[in-house]
Amino acid sequence: MKKLMLSLAIAASLVGSSSYAQQVIRIGTLADYAPFEYKDASGKLKGMEIEIGQKMCASMKVTCQWVTMDFDALIPALKSKQIDAAMAQMSKTPEREKSVDFTRIFTTAPVQLVTKKGAGINQNPATLRGKTIGVQTASTHESYLRMRLPTSKSSIDVKVYQTMDAAWLDLESGRIDAVFADNTLAYDWLSKTGFKEGFDFAGKPIEDAEIFGAGTAIAVRKGDEKLKAQFDQAIVKVHSDGTFSTVNKQYFPFSILPK
Amino acid sequence: MDSLVLLLTESGPVLLSGLVTSLKLLVLSCLFGFMLAVPLAVARSAQSRWLSLPSRAFMTVFRGTPLLVQLFILYYGLAQFDWVRHSPLWLLLEGSFSCALLALTLNIAAYMAEDIRGGIAGVPAGEQEAAAAFGMSRFMITWYIVVPRAIGIVAPTLANEVVLQLKSTALASTITVLDLTGVARRLSIAAYDTDALILAGVAYVAIAALLSSMLKFAEGRLNPHLLR
């Protein structure tokens, strides 16, 4: 009888403790999107968004589990409840808002072409005739080229890459004439490899709020108001208390804090 | 089901062009691969080490590494060297389709060569002796007796390699080739669902089934004495 009581007591304490455990949020992200989120040589997840994300999780008093996957798997994974949020430099666009809900804007990144210096290419479509431009698959950059500069009119050849690393490699080898990506990401590659090999930003940033949205945000499942509110609060906090700017400076010489 | 029908009417042409690309990769790589495999297998079976060792090395390398790694090395790896980009080899490596075709060809050549080598070893010694008794030269024995017999013996295995190759062509999508998998993946990304991938899966099964029965027929023509 004593034994039974004891085991009941243990069972009760176990049940009790689990109900007091911290809320666990599974956040989907990427493993190859330096400097925002990437795995270093030892397999550890690092990057600007990971760093700020962890601070946000602490301020939300939740346990965050980071799950890495391909960019195109994020929204399906959110829908099928494999993850609860996606933090992967996802632009908040009307197209995506049909499938998921977004928090307030987290970062803003200008978009611009990157080419070899002196290639004579800039944001003016006339300079892009007959050129091949590399973009990441399912990105807003791809939508821009397909909707605003369709091949039939612009004679631009669009090459679609699964990862940005592959696009940079093809730019280096000369298979493509330009890469169209976020400035932040391009800056990371340029500062590591590109500048040395004579590549640079071309022309001016391209502006099109309808396609590129106002910036990137954290995606949550449609109707998950609670988590959206939690993240919104955390974003306001890191934006206003200087946490964001401090981390920003470690990664980029320009600010990506939304205005 | 309705969404699948909608997908077919809206994206049918792109899916079809992807299918054609996949089939082109399959047919061309199997054809060139077979043409390469026969001399490789003969060299591998030769008495001379100068002939058998290089062939053996080629087969070990291509059968011992994943096709995905071969594709990446050919496409991204070699492109890093200036001298490669300025050599005639670049004509083959610059385009993603030709690069994928090259990798698929070399890969299946290695597998087919190993199969045919097994077939050559399995040709009964009596047949070769009979040919020698007729006064045939070694060259004639090899190319008129041993090789055709060996191919007949391993025909079912070769047919199996072709069906396996169909699925290997899907890897071409990793180096930006818009084959059936590449197109289906893009469509499913755009729609945030897996309808296009399911459709591609159905298409692969259908081609594999069709391919199997066609190859079965060819086997029958090659080995009429084995037909029941």
Instruction: List pLDDT tens digits, range A221-243.
Output: 999 999 999 999 999 999 999 99
Q: How far apart are the first and last CA of chain A?
A: 68
* Mean pLDDT, residues B5-10: 76
Which residue is it, tokens 């077919």? B8
Cβ contacts of A188 within 8 Å, gap of 6 or more: A34, A35, A251
Distance of alpha carbon A219 from alpha carbon A139, whole angstroms:
15
A164 and A227 both lie in a single domain: no
A45 and A129: one domain?
A: no
Structural domain contains residue A8: no
How far apart are the C-alpha atoms of B44 and B35, rounded to whole Å? Answer: 15
Collapsing DSSP states into helix, strand and coil, what is residue B220? Answer: helix
Q: In this structure, what CATH number is given to the domain that contains residue A88?
A: 3.40.190.10
Q: Would an 8 Å CB–CB cutoff place A157 in contact with chain B?
A: no
Contact A161 B176 (CB under 8 A): yes
d(CA B28, CA B172): 14
- Together in a domain, A43 and A132: no
**Exposed, middle or buried, A46 (CB in 10 Å: 0-12/13-18/19+)?**
middle
First-to-last C-alpha distance (Å) of chain B: 42
Domain that holds residue A67: 23-108+214-251
- How far is CA A231 from each of CA A68, A71, A235, rounded to the nearest angstrom? 19, 20, 6
Most B CBs within 10 Å: which of A100, A142, A160, A175, as the mutation test of the B interface?
Answer: A175
Inter-chain touch B80–A169, beta carbons under 8 Å: yes
- Residue A163 touches chain B, beta carbons under 8 Å: no
Q: How confident is the model at residue B186 (pLDDT cuts 50, 70, 90)?
A: confident
Q: What is the structure's pLDDT at A18?
A: 46
**A161 inside 8 A of chain B by CB:** yes
Nearest to B170 by CA among B185, B188, B191: B185
Tell me the average pLDDT of chain B: 90
Of the candidates A76, A159, A161, the beta carbon closest to that of B192 is on A76
pLDDT at B86: 86
Q: What's the rounded mean pLDDT across residues B88-107?
A: 92
The reply to whether residue B79 touches residue A160, judged by beta carbons under 8 angstroms, is: no
Shared-domain flag, residues A77 and A202: no
pLDDT of A13 strictly over 80: no
On whether residue A10 sits in a domain, the answer given is no
Residues A152 and A196 occupy one common structural domain: yes
Q: Is residue A167 part of a domain?
A: yes
Flag whether A3 is in a domain: no
CB pair distance less than 8 Å for B76 and A170: yes
Number of compact structural domains in chain A: 2
Q: Are residues A99 and A133 in the same domain?
A: no
All residues of chain B having their beta carbon less than 8 Å from the beta carbon of residue A79 are: 192
- Chain A: closest CA distance from residue B211 (Å): 30
Taking 60 as the threshold, does the pLDDT of residue A202 lie above it?
Answer: yes
User: In which domain, by residue range, is B161 found?
Assistant: 2-226
- For the domain that residue B46 is a member of, what is the CATH number? 1.10.3720.10
Q: Closest by alpha carbon to A162, among B101, B193, B177, B194?
A: B177
Q: Which residue of B has its CA nearest to A76?
A: B192
Is it the case that residue A5 has pLDDT exceeding 70?
no
Contacts of A173 in chain B (CB under 8 A): 76, 79-80, 85
**Cβ-defined contact of B189 to A166 (cutoff 8 Å):** no
Q: Do B185 and A72 touch (CB under 8 A)?
A: yes
Partner residue facing B176 (CB), from A72, A160, A173? A160
Comparing B195 with B228, which gets the higher pLDDT? B195
- In the prediction, which pLDDT does A10 show? 57
Mean pLDDT of chain A: 88
Instruction: Report whether pLDDT(B222) > 90.
Output: no
Is there a domain that residue A195 lies in?
A: yes
pLDDT value of residue A3: 62
Give how far Cα B189 sits from Cα of A37, A71, A225, B183, Å: 21, 9, 25, 10
Are A130 and A170 in a shared domain? yes
Structurally, how many domains does chain B consist of?
Answer: 1
Q: Does ipTM surpass 0.85 in this model?
A: no
Instruction: With respect to residue A103, please indicate whether it lies within any of the assigned structural domains.
Output: yes
**Contacts of B81 by beta carbon, 8 Å cutoff, 6+ apart:** none
Q: What is the pLDDT of residue B224?
A: 79
Asked if residue A36 is part of any domain, the answer here is yes
Grouping H, G, I as helix, E, B as strand and the rest as coil, residue B135 is: coil
Mean predicted confidence (pLDDT) in A123-134? 90
Nearest CB partner across the interface for A169, out of B79, B94, B192: B79
Give whole-number Cα distances, A8 to A14, A16, A85, in Å: 10, 12, 38
Q: Which of A48-62, A116-130, B56-70, B151-165 has the lowest mean pLDDT?
A: A116-130
User: For B28-49, what is the mean pLDDT?
Assistant: 94
Q: Are residues A220 and A102 in the same domain?
A: yes
Suggest the residue from A78, A158, A173 to mutate for an interface test with chain B (most B CBs closer than 10 A). A173
Token pair 């066609």 is found at B214
Same domain, A226 and A188: no
B94/A175 Cβ within 8 A: yes
Contacts of A76 in chain B (CB under 8 A): 192-194
A37 in a domain, yes or no? yes
User: pTM of this prediction?
Assistant: 0.78
pLDDT in tens, B54-94: 999 999 999 999 999 999 999 998 888 888 888 888 888 88
Do A90 and A173 lie in a common domain?
no
- Angle of helix B147-168 relative to helix B96-122, nearest 10 degrees, comes to 140
A82 and A44 in a common domain: yes
Is some CB atom of chain A closer than 8 A to the CB atom of B176? yes
Nearest CA in chain B to A74: B192
